[in-house]
Amino acid sequence: MLSADAAADAGALRRQIEQAAARIAADVRRTPLWRLPGRALGLDVAEVWLKLEHLQIGGSFKARGMFNRMRSLPLPPAGVVVASGGNAGIAVATAARALGVPCEVFLPEVSTPAKRAALAALGATVNVRGAVYAEALAACQARQRETGALLMHAYDQSEVVIGAGTLAAEIEADAGALPDRLLVSVGGGGLVAGIAAWCAGRCRVEALEPERAPTLHAARQQGRPVDVAVAGVAADSLGAQRIGSIAWDISQRWVDGSLLLPDEAIRAAQQRLWRDYRLAVEPAAALGPAALWSGALRPQPHERVAVVLCGANFDPASLA
């Protein structure tokens, strides 16, 4: 049971998420929820719900938070600036183009050519700075101080987290209930924080991370957010060096599990999603299926398990 204070906080967060959903309804897509019997995916569970968020505008869930922040705050003449491994930058550039303001994106060297090309096609000014996300963020913050542009953070701003929470609200509305478990990929933690804020203990939220980018897992081990080394197959999307402060706060209340997955399982799941179900998603979106198919996570046979396929910004040729 939630404490009285936590219950009040949960209610306030859900109201903010409901308001965000109304605010961005005309900007983003209500992505499909694909409900399958577990046996259809070779799993001994009652149902698997696949939230097809890789079909979102801009190719990832990030559009929800970025539109919510830009719709909530005044937009200066200099427009917006963001540091991103790729997906947040694409979402910001997509929103900026829709709202008619300039956009500048700072990316780390691990960002893929496909994401850089997508940003350029959206009209964003692209700057590659530093080996990892933290270094790109420092360059982005320095640029914001020069120009006065609205700073957009990939995952650690309240409007961004609240916007991400609209995804969970859609799952509950479309299914008529929450699942028993909800599996969420974690980098900086904006998505899992938004989802956990909506669910607030009403279902089990599982945080999934690559072994080579364990931001939340490391924070839980140390009792506080800490920097981690970042590498691996999903580093371009889940490449934050440290869990966000908002995500850390929310996850301590309402994120139940934290599981690490090897690159081999992530890559195998990504390929299986394409081969068997024709779902083309980036590695970051394959962590939920990887946890289930590898046996790293074993839900009970009666459970309904929801999986967020969170993005599709990658080179499809890599699936060959």
Q: Do residues 230 and 278 both lie within one domain?
A: yes
The torsion region of residue 124 among left (phi > 0), alpha (psi -120 to 50) and beta comes to beta
Q: Average pLDDT, stretch 126-130?
A: 92
- For residue 8, the model assigns a pLDDT of 61
Looking at the structure of the chain, the number of domains it has is 2
Q: Which of 51, 54, 247, 76 is nearest to 150 (CA)?
A: 76
Residue numbers of the domain that contains 188:
4-60+158-319
Strand partners, 47: 37, 304
Give percent of the chain above pLDDT 90: 82
| One-letter identity of residue 54 | H
40, 167: one domain: yes
Q: Are residues 297 and 219 in the same domain?
A: yes
Whether residue 273 sits in one domain with residue 213: yes
Q: Are residues 215 and 248 in the same domain?
A: yes
Q: Are 287 and 259 in contact (CB under 8 A)?
A: no
Same domain, 162 and 23: yes
Q: Looking at residue 66, which CATH number applies to its domain?
A: 3.40.50.1100
Rounded distance between C-alpha atoms, residue 229 and residue 221, angstroms: 15
Domain check: are 199 and 260 in the same one? Answer: yes
E strands within 191-318?
204-210, 257-261, 304-308
Structural domain ending residue among the three candidates 152, 172, 201:
152
Among 193, 174, 209, which residue's Cα sits nearest to residue 306? 174
Q: Which two tokens stand for residue 112?
A: 């893929």
Assign 83 to helix, strand or coil.
Answer: strand
- pTM, entire model: 0.93
Amino acid at 146: E
pLDDT of residue 7: 56
Q: Are residues 96 and 138 in the same domain?
A: yes
Q: What is the band of 49 on the pLDDT scale with cuts at 50, 70, 90? A: very high
- Domain final residue, candidates 123, 152, 181: 152
Any idea what DSSP says for residue 305? E
- The string of pLDDT tens digits covering residues 25-39 is 999 999 999 999 999
Verify that 166 and 107 share a domain, yes or no. Answer: no
pLDDT, tens digit (0-9, with 9 covering 90-100), for 223-262: 999 999 888 888 777 778 899 999 999 999 999 999 999 9
d(CA 218, CA 155): 18
